[in-house]
Amino acid sequence: MPFVNIKVTPDGLTPEKKAALIAGVTELLRVELNKNPETTVVIIDEVETDNWGIGGKTVTQRRAGG
């Protein structure tokens, strides 16, 4: 049973885009690894930019040029 956890910031992430991500990842695992789509689990975690750090700064700070 494949388990995929996608972590993204919520910017522009609509329910339709989430559904497309889930379907696309599921299909990719079916095609490339011959995994059963019925047992493939995909979870999308939306992480606010203040809660995501890169290089010692939050994503919010980095986007602001700080």
Mean pLDDT taken over the chain: 97
The 3-state DSSP class for residue 27 equals: helix
Neighbours of 19 (CB within 10 A): 11
Tens of pLDDT along 17-42?
999 999 999 999 999 999 999 999 99
In CATH, the number for domain 3-63 is: 3.30.429.10
Tokens of residue 57, six digits: 């700064």
Full-model pTM: 0.86
* Whole-angstrom Cα Rg for the chain: 15
Provide the annotated active-site residues.
Answer: 2
Spans of all domains in the chain: 3-63
CA–CA distances in Å: residue 51 to residues 20, 29, 32? 25, 29, 33
